[in-house]
């Protein structure tokens, strides 16, 4: 019987890789994990967690203004980018320690260095070769930098978390969720923000009403949005400022998508099939085209969300060492955009529902939140339900407004369970909340041609 050094060797200590390795270790497997950077991956180190911490910080400028409508007077308030980043760094270091401790407790060996596959059972790391019965690729994705003149002058979301100072003027190139989120962060912290997107509307792939509503709300907050706008070059000016697409600024940030991090891993050389974007092609059990090789998370170029990477990692561990082949369900996965205001969504967009069912019923409402009747702020919330006309099953729920991600997480249970519009109608609303709007929607919206 062939004896390997490990039962599982994981490349990448992000959310998916750590979950798979921990569970495999707890199930009795001999596990090692390789990481050439900090433990925690994109989510913990340079993604979800630091981004939301900065988003919280960006809300305080409006909160202080709104307080006046409720009788509070706040004098002498000031903001320190240095203090914010220092606080963020302390929390990220703490979480990195939590992840490392969890691996240690599960008996997982952590190997530092860049790993490369030699064959389906062999990995080379820092000049040393180790063998494993199974190999898991969990290397995530990286920001894409367009190949344009002057691209070296720009930053990506990776560098945005470590800027020495808050730029006075920022140009964000892109129209996806990262662009929308950082536009809100920089604007809320006091910067002048321009967002340049080559498409017809921001947030491609989201529901059309959501896209338009967020665009309008971002514009109200002072974000300048240029649609059908392309950045072909970035120039450094004599005063050390930058110019791109006719916009003068102090920083240009690319938010133009992310690509699976597979370069240099040796996957294609050993016969692992990759998609045109470089993602590892896997089946519903996260198995690659080569036996004993698995992949989870953003490197598979499927649903690029941390909870999905965690779910996939757990499924691989259970399949290999838990005695149960476990597929991963990618339907009705809730997602959020921590823009200002935030977006929460689960299930099908109106367009996708029409494509799938043919006939759909749509219910939606736009309203001024109770808070802003006293704050005086011109901000509106959007709620929307998309219903299969034949079965009356709620196929999609969408929201733009304060607490949207928190509210949609609860609605995700209803959508996943296949609840009908009649069951929504039979549910008593919790008053006064924005969430209650989802159970008091009664009038169908007129569908677009």
pLDDT tens-place string over residues 240-289: 999 999 999 999 999 999 999 999 999 999 999 999 999 999 999 999 99
State the pLDDT at residue 160: 97
State the pLDDT at residue 320: 98
Is the per-residue pLDDT at 448 higher than 90? no
Which ranges in the chain are annotated with CATH 3.50.50.60?
A: 6-142+259-321, 151-256
Instruction: Name the CATH superfamily for 151-256.
Output: FAD/NAD(P)-binding domain (3.50.50.60)
Q: What is the CA radius of gyration of the chain?
A: 24
Per-residue pLDDT tens digits for 209-247: 999 999 999 999 999 999 999 999 999 999 999 999 999
Residue with tokens 């045109």: 276
Q: Does domain 341-440 have CATH number 1.10.3720.10?
A: no
Per-residue pLDDT tens digits for 126-185: 899 999 999 999 999 999 999 999 999 999 999 999 999 999 999 999 999 999 999 999
Is the per-residue pLDDT at 200 higher than 60? yes
Per-residue pLDDT tens digits for 77-109: 999 999 999 999 999 999 999 999 999 999 999
Which ranges in the chain are annotated with CATH 3.30.390.30?
A: 341-440
State the pLDDT at residue 446: 73
Is the per-residue pLDDT at 36 higher than 60? yes
CA-to-CA distance for 381 and 327, rounded, in angstroms? 37
CA-to-CA distance for 319 and 323, rounded, in angstroms? 6
Average pLDDT over residues 23-46: 97
Is the per-residue pLDDT at 2 higher than 90? no
State the pLDDT at residue 86: 98
Average pLDDT over residues 39-62: 97
Element holding 306 (H helix, E strand): helix 306-321
CA-to-CA distance for 260 and 138, rounded, in angstroms? 10
Q: Are 24 and 79 in contact (CB under 8 A)?
A: no
Looking at residue 223, the DSSP 8-state letter turns out to be -
Provide the annotated active-site residues. Answer: 431
What percentage of the chain has pLDDT greater than the value 90? Answer: 98
Strand-pair category, 128-137 with 122-125: antiparallel
Mean pLDDT of all residues belonging to the chain: 97
State the pLDDT at residue 1: 47
Is the per-residue pLDDT at 447 higher than 70? no
**Residue 291, both tokens:** 């036996």
| Fold classified for 6-142+259-321 | FAD/NAD(P)-binding domain (3.50.50)
Q: Are 55 and 338 in contact (CB under 8 A)?
A: yes
């Amino acid at each position: 019987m062939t004896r390997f050094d490990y039962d599982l060797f994981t490349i990448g200590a992000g959310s998916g890789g750590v979950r798979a390795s921990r569970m495999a270790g707890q199930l009795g497997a001999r596990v090692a994990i390789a990481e050439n950077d900090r433990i925690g991956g994109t989510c913990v180190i340079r993604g979800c967690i630091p981004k939301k911490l900065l988003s919280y910080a960006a809300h305080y400028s409006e909160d202080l203004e709104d307080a006046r409508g409720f009788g509070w007077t706040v004098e002498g308030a000031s903001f320190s980018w240095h203090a914010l980043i220092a606080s963020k760094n302390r929390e990220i270091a703490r979480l990195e320690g939590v992840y490392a401790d969890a691996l240690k407790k599960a008996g997982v060996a952590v190997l530092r260095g860049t790993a490369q596959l030699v064959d389906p059972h062999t990995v080379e790391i820092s000049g040393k070769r180790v063998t494993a019965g199974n190999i898991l690729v969990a290397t995530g994705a990286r920001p894409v930098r367009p190949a344009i003149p002057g691209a070296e002058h720009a930053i990506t979301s990776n560098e945005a978390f470590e800027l020495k100072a808050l730029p006075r003027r920022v140009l964000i190139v892109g129209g996806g969720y990262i662009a929308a989120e950082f536009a809100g962060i920089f604007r809320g912290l006091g910067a002048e923000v321009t967002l340049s997107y080559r498409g017809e509307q921001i947030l491609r792939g989201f529901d059309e009403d959501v896209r338009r509503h967020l665009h309008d709300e971002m514009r109200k907050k002072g974000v300048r949005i240029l649609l059908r706008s392309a950045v072909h070059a970035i120039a450094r000016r004599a005063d050390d400022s930058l110019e791109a697409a006719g916009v003068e600024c102090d920083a240009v940030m690319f938010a133009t998508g992310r690509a699976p991090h597979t370069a240099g891993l040796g996957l294609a050389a050993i016969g692992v099939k990759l998609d045109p974007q470089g993602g590892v092609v896997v089946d519903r059990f996260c198995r690659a085209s080569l036996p004993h090789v698995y992949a989870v998370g953003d490197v598979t170029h499927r649903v690029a969300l941390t909870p999905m990477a965690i779910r996939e990692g757990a499924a691989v561990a259970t399949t290999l060492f838990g005695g149960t082949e476990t597929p991963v369900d990618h339907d009705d996965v809730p997602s959020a955009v921590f823009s200002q205001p935030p977006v929460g969504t689960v299930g099908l967009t109106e367009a996708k529902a029409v494509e799938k069912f043919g006939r759909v019923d749509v219910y939606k409402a736009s309203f001024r939140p109770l808070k802003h009747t006293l704050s005086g702020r011109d901000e509106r919330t959007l709620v929307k339900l998309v219903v299969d006309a034949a079965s009356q099953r709620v196929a999609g729920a969408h929201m733009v407004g304060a607490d949207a991600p928190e509210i949609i997480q609860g609605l995700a249970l209803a959508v996943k369970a296949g609840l009908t519009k009649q069951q929504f109608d039979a549910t008593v609303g919790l008053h006064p909340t924005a969430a209650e709007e989802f159970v008091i929607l009664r009038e169908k919206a007129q569908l677009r041609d």
